[in-house]
Amino acid sequence: MPHRHAGAHRATHAARGLAAACLVACATALAAHATAPDAPLPVQELRPGVFVHLGAIEDWGPANGGDVANLAFVVGSRCVAVIDTGGTPAIGRALRAAVARATPLPVCYVINTHAHPDHVLGNVAFRGEATRFVASARFARALAARAPSYLNALARDFGLRLAPAELVYPDVAVERSTELDLGQRVLELRAWPTAHTDNDLTVYDPASRTLFASDLLFVQHMPALDGSLRGWVAAMAELQQVPATLVVPGHGPAREDVRAALAEQSTYLDGLLRAVRAAVQGGLTLSQAVDRVGVPDGASWLLAERFHRRNVTAAFAELEWEDDTAPATGARAPGAKP
């Protein structure tokens, strides 16, 4: 725009000054807006009506804002089911905003796949009269037992104060299985015997043949054992029977080669079971087993250094008291002294 006189020129200079200031201040404001609690969480519609948010392949912590678990929602003709809500209330609010952007339909169900903090601490964002919370029948006890440590971690690591009353417990407890009707779309829920945890629950959407595997499946991210290795190995064989053509793991990218994704994790779990059982039978101590049991097949899982030794520890504690009459693999622990 031409400058007709000095006054206008000065005004323009002033405006430029403001613009320059805005470049800094507004960029800061925009950045803040980009991470504002109610900015919709990025989601991808992987199948019609199936929306997925992939968390970072990292440990739950402030560096990633607690955004490490995969979250999803499925849209029926009547309402929406949300599957896991994220590692902080802010992530839950961002997920709610993503739902609202995708559909005007209400959220009738929030399904929690298990009581780990990265999957459930966003629940509070969905609390409302019309929304029912659904989880394994063993979920409530598991969450109550860990609640003090989760709330401490939120305060200590994230600077977030959450009252115990803001932890949302299920209204619907699934003992073995149940169905949720979203209107012309019925989700099949299944609660599992102890595997990744003692309260795992998977969701299958026959309409899109999508399996939401919860943390019963990790892709790229090393599996993390907090339940029963033997139970998890058994669950893997049953998951192979689900006629899914898309699987959304609890962590890592979704996969259309469902059986291969499951098999990759089975290689790790089966190998871990064999090696730790052999270590126990070979008379190794726990610390010897932790030092000597390597990653089976040397597979390149992400976060292996963080989780593998912990997995060996958990597996050792489980297998140490295993019935000696149980079928043995006969293999000796790597490096075990005869």
The reply on whether position 251 binds Zn ion by CB under 5 A is no
84 binds Zn ion (CB under 5 A): no
Minimum CB separation from Zn ion for residue 176, in Å? Answer: 21
The CB-of-304 to Zn ion minimum distance in angstroms stands at 17
Size of the site for Zn ion (CB under 5 A): 2
Question: What is the side-by-side order of every strand in the sheet holding 44-47?
Answer: 44-47, 50-53, 71-75, 80-83, 107-111, 132-136, 172-174
Where in 100-119 is the site for Zn ion (CB under 5 A)?
A: 116
- Of the two residues 215 and 318, which places its CB atom closer to Zn ion in the complex? 215
Residue 93 makes contact with Zn ion by CB under 5 A: no
Q: Whose Cβ is closer to Zn ion: residue 51's or residue 60's?
A: 60
Q: Which string of b and e fits 125-159 if b means at least 16 CB within 10 Å?
A: bbeeeebebbbbebbeebbeebbeebbebbeeebe
Nearer to Zn ion, 215 or 264 (CB): 215
The site string for Zn ion over 199-218 (x = CB under 5 A, - otherwise) reads ----------------x---
Q: Which is nearer to Zn ion, 112 or 266 (CB)?
A: 112
DSSP letter string, 259-282: HHHHHHHHHHHHHHHHHHHHHHHT
Residue 221 within binding range of Zn ion, rule CB under 5 A? no
Strand-pair partners of 45: 51
> What's the CA gap between 92 and 83, in Å, rounded?
11
* Residue 185 backbone dihedrals phi, psi, to 5 degrees: -165, 115
Closer of 195 and 289 to Zn ion (Cβ): 195
Binding residues for Zn ion, rule: CB under 5 A, are 116, 215
